[in-house]
Amino acid sequence: MATQGRGRDAQLAFGETLMVIMVLVFLIGIGMVFYYSASRSSLNTELQHREDVQAVLLAQRVLSMPEVACDRYAGGSCIDSLKLAALARMLGPGAGHDAAAWTTYYGRFAEAAITVRYLTGAQAGQRLPLYDATPKDPGNFTAQQQFIFTTIYDPVADEQDLAYLNVTRYARRQTG
Amino acid sequence: MTRKGQLGIQFHWVFTLIGGILFLLFFFVLIRSVLHSDQARTTRELSFDVGTIIAKAPLSPDTFSVADVPDATYRFACEQDAQGGVTYSYVRIDNQSYEDTGLRDIAVFSPATVRGDQLFTATATWQAPFPIASMVLLSNNRTRYVLVGLPQVTKRFVDQGNLGGFNILYVGPGGVSSVTDEGFDRYRFIYFGGYTAPPSAFLTARNSALVVHQDPDGETGTLDFHDSLAPGAPSPPGVPYAGEAMLAAAAFTDSYAAFRCNMAKAEGSLATAKKILLDRLKAILALYDAGNSAHVPDGRCQADYLRGKALIEAYPSPGEESAYNAYVQQGNLRELEDIDSRLVTRGCPRLY
Amino acid sequence: MRRAQAEIIGLLLIVVLIAIGFLLYIRFSSSGSGSTKAAFEQNQMGQTFVNSLVLAQVTCDGRLYQVRDLLRDVATGTAPDTCGDGRTPERLLNATFSDVLDGTLGAWGVNYRFLVLRTLPDGSEEPLSAALPELRNAQYAGTGTCDATYRPRVAIGRTVRPLGLAGAGEIEVRLEECREKT
């Protein structure tokens, strides 16, 4: 009888220890789930911020391309309207399309769309599509849009007009 | 009975010890993995930040910038395939890279390794003679550039490129023997004239030299790259250059291979820049044909535009080195510049 | 003995919880460098707006002026009396600013305030001209200062041009946005 009582005590003690360990493991498991989900959310925020920065960089980069820059005597940094029109023809779908130029600029801009809109001067209100590589499946992409202002210099008329670039950058959605 | 109890107590402690060790091991692994992922995240963010610093540089041409970065070793690499196309170009921080093609279309001229907590950047617009591409010059205060040559030549090189913020030491011709080792990570000797070996303390693989043979106009010449100053290191034949930006690029990179690879990135813009200019000239010349009296430039300018158009059409493509040498030797770059200056004087739209 | 075991388990539990808390702290306490992030705020739109606006040209009295030059002439009293269409230079500039802002920042829903000020040598500010009032996005009512509904104003673009005359101060073209300060 006494032996059975001691056996039962031992089982109870063992069971108690086991319960404590299970509770411990459960708590640790909860902690790890919380940690990894917070970590994932932080990563998504980080990735979103990166995409925003890349979109801003792209917009600024278009402004500073030497191949369309106006000459330095035109009153500050600006874009040459004739060079801009030439590049738009090379990158556009029309007769002036240049496949090699397209390849070069697609390597730089990737999936993006860039449009120039004139605000003052003789071409005020007019739009000039410069580059359009909008993805065929936009649902799989997130879009960041940036507006950046500049002046466009007409070297023949010697006029400098205000304009802005509407730059939309598409980034593939992160899955999982 | 007592023996059984003693045995029981011993066994009890063994299980406790094993359980404790397993527990500690579990937490050791967990902490290590968190710290490792935190380190990876920091490196990833830093890699992105450094990439952003470099990508921002061309947006402010002729501006010298200092960026504070975490103290680390930054390695810059650029690789080309057999056809000369750039395959990989990246910056690695403490030997970790987030993106191996991050710098593929930004021409960065820097030492292969930059160590420290600051990055210096300047941007030069490559013009030969029309604007072609932006080139980022990068270094820090632990790389010393020793410019050997006449003061008016070396100072002009620095002032024109807005390079005064870099770690530069001016030495007169023949004065290179007076240079002392002040403990910088590396030294790059740039000779505007003949090469004289620096003191023996500098004759190591980590230091390098560039010998510049300038043509009288100062815009063109040839470059001799000495990637290593160690005794017996090979020196390749002279490489032609055109434009001060290209000279500055050669000065800031420390190997011919890195120079060539990053120039390939810049040359990627050459074909497009040429086509844009020709299209622009076509538009200007069309005004003469249309007789648009309101905006036709001065009649004397038409001949200059036609000549400029012919010269730009004949401009050699990248890689055609002998054709390019012949083009330069015929004085065509100088003629393009003269045409452009004449157009400005006459109040006509410029050539480029 | 059982009580001792329970106490040891309890201590262990506390240690485990502290360790988990510490790990979470390590994971989320470090943040990336702030300088590059801050540099890429919306300010690039505002900064390019004012920098480009002052370089753009307008026609006044048959002549092309860059906005910055016409503003300086207005400030120094050397601008033409009229721009040839019945408008003074100030009214021409105000109409230009208003049209541009309405078609851009206004249309994009930016809560802006645009001002042209003269900064005097003693540091005080005054509007450059009564004919160049501050311009605000029409859809946002309220006073010039952001009220309790809108968050504090942040300058997202400004450009300062010296007037070129000793003791005359400077012209400041400023664009502000009502939003959270970062």
Interface contacts (A, B; CB < 8 Å): 92
Long-range pairs for A90-94 at CB < 8 Å and ≥24 separation?
Answer: A90/B272, A90/B275, A90/B276, A90/B279, A91/A130, A91/A131, A91/A132, A92/A129, A92/A132
Is residue A49, in this structure, part of any structural domain at all? yes
CB contact under 8 A, A101 and B271: yes
Task: From chain C, pick out residues whose CB is under 8 angstroms from the CB of B35.
Answer: 26
Interface test with A, best of B34, B105, B275 (most A CBs within 10 A): B275
Give me the pLDDT at residue B14, please.
74
C36 shares contact with chain B (CB less than 8 Å):
yes
Q: Which of C19, C26, C32 sits opposite B49 (nearest CB)?
A: C32
**How far is the C-alpha of C62 from the C-alpha of C92, rounded, in Å?**
13
Instruction: List subunits contacting chain A, requiring 3 or more Cβ pairs under 8 Å.
Output: B, C
The residue in chain A having the minimum alpha-carbon distance to the alpha carbon of residue C5 is A17
Indicate the angle between helix axes A99-109 and A81-91, nearest 10 degrees.
Answer: 100
Is residue A9, in this structure, part of any structural domain at all? no
**How far is the C-alpha of C96 from the C-alpha of C79, rounded, in Å?**
17
Task: From chain B, pick out residues whose CB is under 8 angstroms from the CB of C30.
Answer: 38, 42
**How far is the C-alpha of B229 from the C-alpha of B189, rounded, in Å?**
10
Is residue A69, in this structure, part of any structural domain at all? yes
Q: Which of B127, B279, B287 sits opposite A156 (nearest CB)?
A: B287
Shortest Cα–Cα distance, A28 to chain C (Å): 8
Interface of C with B in 114-173 (CB under 8 A): none
Is residue A165, in this structure, part of any structural domain at all? yes
Interface contacts (A, C; CB < 8 Å): 89
B54 shares contact with chain C (CB less than 8 Å):
no
- Condensed to tens digits (0 to 9), the pLDDT of residues B336-347 reads 999 999 998 888
Give me the pLDDT at residue B213, please.
93
- Condensed to tens digits (0 to 9), the pLDDT of residues C81-105 reads 999 888 999 999 999 999 999 999 9
- Condensed to tens digits (0 to 9), the pLDDT of residues B161-212 reads 889 999 999 999 989 999 999 999 999 999 998 888 899 999 999 999 999 9
Give me the pLDDT at residue C144, please.
54
Banded model confidence at residue C13, pLDDT cuts 50, 70, 90: confident
**How far is the C-alpha of B296 from the C-alpha of B287, rounded, in Å?**
6
C2 shares contact with chain B (CB less than 8 Å):
no
CB contact under 8 A, A87 and B55: no
Which range is least confidently modeled, B49-53, B56-60, C162-166? C162-166
Task: From chain A, pick out residues whose CB is under 8 angstroms from the CB of B59.
Answer: 60-61, 63-64
- Condensed to tens digits (0 to 9), the pLDDT of residues C60-86 reads 998 999 999 999 999 988 999 999 888
Task: Sort strands C135-136 and C112-119 into parallel, antiparallel or unpaired.
Answer: antiparallel
pLDDT of residue B153 exceeding 50, the answer is: yes
**How far is the C-alpha of A91 from the C-alpha of B48, rounded, in Å?**
29
What H or E segment, with its residue span, contains residue A77? none
CB contact under 8 A, B38 and C26: yes
Which 8-state DSSP code applies to residue B227? S
C19 shares contact with chain B (CB less than 8 Å):
yes
CB contact under 8 A, C26 and B35: yes
The residue in chain C having the minimum alpha-carbon distance to the alpha carbon of residue A157 is C64
CB contact under 8 A, B27 and C27: no
Domain of residue A105 covers 43-172
Is residue A93, in this structure, part of any structural domain at all? yes
The residue in chain B having the minimum alpha-carbon distance to the alpha carbon of residue C32 is B45
**How far is the C-alpha of B267 from the C-alpha of B132, rounded, in Å?**
8
Give me the pLDDT at residue C149, please.
58
Task: Look up the pTM and report it.
Answer: 0.82
CB contact under 8 A, A120 and C27: no
- Condensed to tens digits (0 to 9), the pLDDT of residues C110-161 reads 888 899 999 888 888 889 999 999 898 877 665 555 655 556 677 777 887 7
Decide which of B296 and B87 is more confident: B87
Q: Say if residue C168 is exposed, middle or buried (CB neighbours under 10 Å; 0-12, 13-18, 19+).
A: middle
Give me the pLDDT at residue C32, please.
45
Tokens representing C18 are: 């502290």
Give me the pLDDT at residue C167, please.
67
Give me the pLDDT at residue B98, please.
63
For every residue of B146-201, DSSP letters joined together read EEES-HHHHHHHHHHTT-TTS-EEEE-TT-GGG------SEEEEEEES---PPPGG
Neighbours of B44 (CB within 10 A): 19
Task: From chain A, pick out residues whose CB is under 8 angstroms from the CB of C20.
Answer: 28, 31, 35
Task: From chain A, pick out residues whose CB is under 8 angstroms from the CB of C56.
Answer: 119-121, 151, 160-162
Question: Rounded mean pLDDT of chain B?
Answer: 86
Give me the pLDDT at residue C83, please.
93
Q: What is the pLDDT along chain A (176 residues), one digit of tens a residue?
A: 555 666 676 666 677 777 777 777 777 777 777 777 777 777 777 777 778 778 888 888 888 889 999 876 555 578 999 999 999 999 999 889 999 999 989 988 999 999 999 999 999 999 999 999 999 998 899 898 889 999 999 998 889 999 999 999 998 886 64
CB contact under 8 A, C33 and B46: yes
Which range is least confidently modeled, B5-19, B40-54, B63-77, B121-135? B5-19
Is residue A100, in this structure, part of any structural domain at all? yes
Number of domains present in the structure of chain A: 1
pLDDT of residue B147 exceeding 90, the answer is: yes
The residue in chain B having the minimum alpha-carbon distance to the alpha carbon of residue C37 is B49
Q: Which of B31, B56, B70 sits opposite C23 (nearest CB)?
A: B31
**How far is the C-alpha of B136 from the C-alpha of B116, rounded, in Å?**
19
Give me the pLDDT at residue A117, please.
97
- Condensed to tens digits (0 to 9), the pLDDT of residues C27-55 reads 666 554 444 444 454 578 888 899 899 99
Interface test with B, best of C1, C18, C33 (most B CBs within 10 A): C33
Shortest Cα–Cα distance, C15 to chain B (Å): 11
Is residue A14, in this structure, part of any structural domain at all? no
ipTM: 0.80
3-state secondary structure of C125: strand
pLDDT of residue C163 exceeding 80, the answer is: no
Output Rg (C-alpha) for chain A, integer angstroms.
Answer: 31
Instruction: Specify whether the backbone of A136 is left (phi greater than 0), alpha (psi in -120 to 50) or beta.
Output: alpha
Residue of B306, B285, B309 whose CA lies nearest to B297: B285
Give me the pLDDT at residue B156, please.
92
Angle at A110 between CA A105 and CA A112, to 5 degrees: 100
Which 8-state DSSP code applies to residue B83? T
Neighbours of B237 (CB within 10 A): 7
Is residue A11, in this structure, part of any structural domain at all? no
Give me the pLDDT at residue B39, please.
73
Task: From chain A, pick out residues whose CB is under 8 angstroms from the CB of C23.
Answer: 35
Give me the pLDDT at residue C166, please.
64
Task: From chain C, pick out residues whose CB is under 8 angstroms from the CB of A16.
Answer: 2
